[in-house]
Amino acid sequence: MSLFGTIPMIPLRDLLQLLAASDKTGCLQVVHEKRATNLFFQSGRVVACSADDPAKLLGQYLLYRGLITEDILRSAMAQQETTGESLRTIFVATRRITSEELGRVVIEKAEETLHALFDLDEATFSFRENMLPRLKDTVISFDVADIVIRGVRRGEEWRRIRARLGGPGTILRHTGRDAPGSVLDDWPTRQVYHAVDGVRTIAEIVLHVHGIEFLVCRCLFDLLEDGFVARAGSREAEGTRIFSFPGSPDASRRSAGEPATVCDRPEFAEGGDDLERARVLLAGGDPEAAIEILGDAHRADPSDSAVRRLMDEAERMLVEQITSAGFAPDKVPVAVGQKVDPVRGSLSPADDFLLHLSDGTWSVRALMWVSPMRAVEVLATLRSLVDRGYVEFRE
């Protein structure tokens, strides 16, 4: 049985309960804003999961928890590129973390991946029967009833948090009341507290601490309720375009046997006018303009497989153009300080994050390794910063 649809047309809780009650075995893929989450079922139980959201990958989660540093992740990613070993193997072998501690964190991260689905107001989904987990998927064993109960509670909590904090453009400041050690003993809370500076938005804080939006906002909510931080206005910064569709991982992360997405159905292959315009632009060497058109086409029909394939082609072309234009992986970006400070309000969260790391010690390759963003997003943001004169390159 193949099942396709949208949330909230079919509420997530009803979808999960349907698969559990039917004792289904296969893969449920839920896709929202360029990110895909896969849940693998066996006889109605969730037995594995994975997500391609960079913020939810293992390295980023370990950074958020304070179990590794950015330098450690950079070193591990370099070793992985050379040896092909998994990050789990590398971290344990280099004694950065014990296997027992890593096991606990992996389960914790898996639970976060599952319950985060209840944060979504809308998404597309597909279920492919008899599709089995891959080696890289996190093996778990959860009862659907428990997932639904905890997920619904989380959804209610998230609504309360958003009502109190406001949107991602909200700026927070310290109130002058020092947070006690009992509050700051928790590493994520400490990092979030110190990231509040009266200038950063919530979206910028999330990136700065390598966090997941819900977890960071829950820390900020508690700090706000306890009187340690206060709202100080809001700022809607210029956004950096996101060059992808739901469930479309980097080409470098693709592997044979990955579960098909809702966009892979051959019967969904329309949007001819937009597709033809995008093809003409690609033939003329303008992938960014093509991406804008394809983005509109995708929003009109998220299940169009032809749009998805053309977007992959446009992204590859854009990466090739950026790297061939002088953004070589070994080059080192350096922030031009006198240019940045007066125009902080015009920077996007991605701009702010990469400027923070553009201190002359991180290459383009290393930034792609440690950033909670996809590689194409890092490259596009760096190019924008260079074009606006906020960053310059050193060899």
| pLDDT at position 262 | 33
User: Which of the four pLDDT bands, split at 50, 70 and 90, describes residue 257?
Assistant: very low
Q: Is the pLDDT of residue 77 over 70?
A: yes
DSSP letter string, 271-307: -HHHHHHHHHHHHTT-HHHHHHHHHHHHHH-TT-HHH
Chain center to CA of 326: 27
| 372-395: pLDDT as tens digits | 988 888 998 998 898 888 999 876
Say how far apart CA 289 and CA 287 lie, in whole Å.
6
DSSP letter string, 129-167: ETPPPPTTSEEEEE-HHHHHHHHHHHHHHHHHHHHHH-S
| pLDDT at position 308 | 74
Question: How do the domains of the chain map onto residue ranges?
Answer: 1-152, 166-234, 262-324, 332-394
| pLDDT at position 342 | 45
What is the architecture of the domain spanning 166-234? Orthogonal Bundle (1.10)
| pLDDT at position 44 | 93
Residue 332 neighbours by CB under 8 Å, 6+ apart = 360, 361, 362, 363, 364, 393, 394, 395
Residue 193 neighbours by CB under 8 Å, 6+ apart = 179, 183, 184, 219, 223, 228, 229
| pLDDT at position 261 | 36
In this structure, the strands spanning 123-129 and 45-51 are unpaired
| pLDDT at position 39 | 94
Say how far apart CA 21 and CA 41 lie, in whole Å.
12
From 135, 300, 108, select the one nearest 215 (Cα to Cα).
Answer: 108
Q: Which fold has domain 332-394?
A: Arc Repressor Mutant, subunit A (1.10.10)
Which of 51-60, 169-178, 271-280, 339-348 reaches the highest mean pLDDT?
A: 169-178
**Three-state SS at 204:** helix
| pLDDT at position 340 | 52
Residue 303 neighbours by CB under 8 Å, 6+ apart = 4, 124, 262, 263, 265, 268
Q: Which of 115-124, 164-173, 243-252, 282-291 has the lowest mean pLDDT?
A: 243-252
The reply to whether domains 166-234 and 332-394 share a CATH topology is yes
| pLDDT at position 303 | 58
